[in-house]
Structures are given as C-alpha cells and as structure tokens.
Amino acid sequence: MRHAFQFKINFTSGIISPAYLQYLLSAAREAGIAYIRFGLRQQLIIDASHKDYDRMVTALTKRGVSYEVNRDDYPNILSSYAAEEIFVRDTWLKENIYKDIFALFDYKPKLKVNIVDNNQTFTPMFTGNINWIASNQPHYWFLVLRFPKTNMFFHWPQLIYTNDIPRLSKKIEDVIFQNTSLYYENIEADGNVLYKTIADEFAVISKPVEESLVLPDFKLPYYEGFNIYGDKLWLGIYRREELFAVDFLQNVCGICIATNISQIYATTWKSIIVKSILPKHRDLWDCLLNKYKINVRHASNELNWQVEDVSEDGLNIKRHVIRHFDKDDVRTFGLCFAVKTHPKSGVFGSIIIKRQMSVIRNQVKALDKFEILYTPNFNPNSKEYIHFRGDVPKEQLGTYLISLCKYYYELQSMKPDSACNLYESQIEEAARDILHQCPTCMTVYDANIGDVNKNIASGTLFEDLPSSYSCSLCNTPARKFVAIERSSFEPKN
C-alpha cells in the first residue's frame, strides 16, 4: 500500500524549531522517505510503506522522538499563533502570552485543544473539543466546549484567566473521560452538569461572561508568497498535493538557521509560514524557490479548502471541483470549502462536500454520491449544517457548487447594511460627479439636470440613456461624448 502507515509528530501550536525539523527530516531521509506533509492540526505527518516502516521506527526511536502511528490518541494543541503579527496586529494576545500558555501544559491532551485570538479568521475557532477564544478583556478567555464525537456545544458561563487555561483543560478532560457515558459521543451531553461538577470543587481565576462572544466575519487572508510587515517579510508556502520534499524543507531549515530565524509555522491549511525574513536575505529564498520550482502564487479558490489528512479521495474531489471553478471563472472570496469523506472526521468549512454512506449488513460503505451542505450565514465556525443537495454524482458537483456560490453572493448583496449597497451608492454618487460633453458643439450632459429637450428626466445617469440619444443641439451621437470632471467644468469662486 502506498500509505500503509502514517507517523504523526506533534508541534505544539505548529511552532517548529528549524534545527529540530532538520533533525526529524534527517530521520525521514534515513528511512528512505522523500516527502512529508503537515496536518489540519499543525502536526507533521510522514507516510511510510511496509518496506519503510521498520527503518522509520528505528530512525525516530534512536533520536528519542515521540510519535504515533495510525493513531490520534494525543491530538496536537492548535492555535492562531502563526497569524500573530501578520494577520492579527491590534490585539493584546502577543507571542509571549501564547508561549506562556503552552509552557504551562504539563500533560499531553487527549482531547483537541484550540487556543485562538478572537480577532482573526485564519485559524478555525471551534474544531477542538476545548476551544479557548480570547475575549476583549486582556488575559481573559471564552471557553466553548464541543463534546467529543458530537457537534453539541456548551458555552462556559465564566471568562477564564490566561494562566488557568492548562489546569482547567486538564480538569475538563479528566471529568469527561471519567464519565464517558455522559459526555463522550452523547448528543444529549449536558454542559451545565459538567460545569457544576467542576465549579464545585475546582477554583480558577474568572469573571462572569457579561457580553456574548462576537466573531469577525470570515475572510480568509491570502497566505502565500512574499509579504511585507513592518520592516520585514514573511513567506507562505502551499503545495497543491500537500507534499513537501524532504530535501527542500532541509534547505528551508538551513536558510532559517543561517539567517537567525528561530521558528517555522505549520498552519491549519497544511502550508508553512516563515516570518522575520530581512529584505537583504530575500535573494536566498528566491534562489531556493527557483531551484525547486516552487510556485507561491496559487489562485485564491484553491487555497480556501480543507481536506482530511492523508486523503487522496478528498484531494481528487477538490481537484475536480477546482477545474470547474477555473473553467467558469468562479469567485469564491469569503467562502471556505471542506471535503468530508469519513463520517466522524472534523473539517472546517462554510460549504461541505460530504461523501454519502450506506449501511449494508452492519457495514458502512462509501457511495459515489455526495451531499452538499452549508452553514447558517455561511459561517465556517458553525457546526450547524443546512442541506442543499443530496445524491449528487461527482460529475455534477461543480455545477451545484457554482450555484451555491452565486446564492451566497446574492445573500451578501441583500443585507441592509451591506458594503455592496454602500459601494453602489458611492459609484452612483461618483457617476453624478462626471459630466459628458459633446465634442462638436461643447454642449454638456449633466445627470443631475437631465435633458428637457429630449424628455430625459433629471437623475438619469449617462450610462442609462437610451442608445438613440444624441446631442440636443447638434445631434452628435452620445457614444462620441467625452467624460469630464465636474470640477474642471464649473467656474471657480
């Protein structure tokens, strides 16, 4: 089998020391592995065949590396730290605070823990079981629980102090695993009972929740290529097939070490980000990208996808749909797509393509049909799904998804406070500041006045004039009129 074994190595929050990554990559090369990948939870994944397995185990064991094979007993702690400075600036949640929290985790969580800023939309908020979201009050956090193997949420009634995040996470995990029948894979799990159980015996620094959690509208930032922040650059690298060549990454680490860059970041989009690049060192990175023919300007509608880890099936569906999007030049800004090929997998998306399953003789069988779902208001942080179409063959996915994209933009334009409405009013106002002058007799058409002689009402924009319209004085066709600014025509006081 091509991917008989998946070795998983966690990096808390996706923060990777270049020297440590070099160390891991040397193990992969020793085992004959040519490519690695990064997962949805910012971890390192190494695919190994049967013949590579023993060598991979030997290489990691002799280096003292902690890993899992074909298991996920210890999901990686996920955070929005990679977005700090480059996608999130006006926030109290800085690098030192993230690192203080991570340092206080003295255990390996068995439940998924997310630690995210509330001012960003780069990292998913609620894909964890224990979701910590920064409030607007410095050092205080919202806590939103998603009970394991369910989409049932509970909002903790207190804001929790920063330093208590690891302690309370551990306590919640302990109580859930001690009472699995109540809280594990139970759609009737009662968060209030869990809260009371813990609050009665476990003291934390907290404040009452006085204002509800308000999240920003989803806008996925473009996370590829060279970008400027302050007096430095950051570089985002995405790979279409999710595979990074081991020797390429070894060179990435080498440049980081040589130029005193102490961290590389794995993102939840299975890409990597390198920050703190000095402009004088950009040529080094350009040479590396040229050497390995790395493209860093993919279309946005290819970057806003979440596919399950190590899922060739999911990638094939993504490729198929993107070909349709490219052919029809479809706009997908503001949307996020997810491919779900396994019933229990958790993916982040405002539009979900879900492979349908059937149960035959107590066995779950994948079908060649899909269900298309979307979330209320197309908010990818929601875990409530609305059915759009079912029993869709793969060949028709593109057609239905394009229709759903159009529906999304129709909803956006219908909002009373929509920026689209403001934009249209600004365009109309700008249009009224443009006059159109006949080049033959210099007569001016002013939309604010119209043309009484031609029965054109005041307020009629030049673009809305009938095709037969001509100058009321010399009959020169309107198509020959010249646009001029009102300020250049009206006399100055």
Q: What is the pLDDT of residues 224-243, one digit of tens each?
A: 999 999 999 999 999 999 99
User: pLDDT tens, 295-311?
Assistant: 998 999 999 999 999 99
Look at residue 488 in the predicted model and tell me its pLDDT.
58
pLDDT in tens, 322-381: 999 999 889 999 999 999 998 878 899 999 999 998 866 666 677 889 999 999 999 999
Q: Where are the beta strands (DSSP E) in 147-270?
A: 153-155, 158-161, 206-208, 225-229, 232-237, 244-245, 264-266
Longest dimension (CA), the chain: 93
User: Radius of gyration of the chain from Cα atoms?
Assistant: 28
pLDDT: which is higher, 358 or 202: 202
**Cα(438)–Cα(478) distance, rounded to whole angstroms?**
8
Size (the chain), residues: 493
pTM of the complete model: 0.82
Which residues lie closer than 8 Å to 201 by C-beta, 6 or more apart? none
Q: Structural domains in the chain? A: 5-74+221-298 (3.90.480.10), 88-208 (no CATH), 303-414 (3.30.413.10), 429-489 (2.20.28.10)
Rounded alpha-carbon distances, angstroms, from residue 229 to 99, 277, 292: 21, 10, 26
Q: Please state the rounded mean pLDDT for residues 29-51.
A: 96
HSE of 256, CA atoms in CB hemisphere, 13 A: 24
397-401 — which CB contacts under 8 Å span 24+ positions? Answer: 397/317, 397/320, 397/321, 397/324, 397/353, 397/370, 397/372, 398/320, 398/321, 398/323, 398/324, 398/325, 398/328, 399/324, 400/372, 401/321, 401/324, 401/325, 401/337, 401/351, 401/353, 401/372
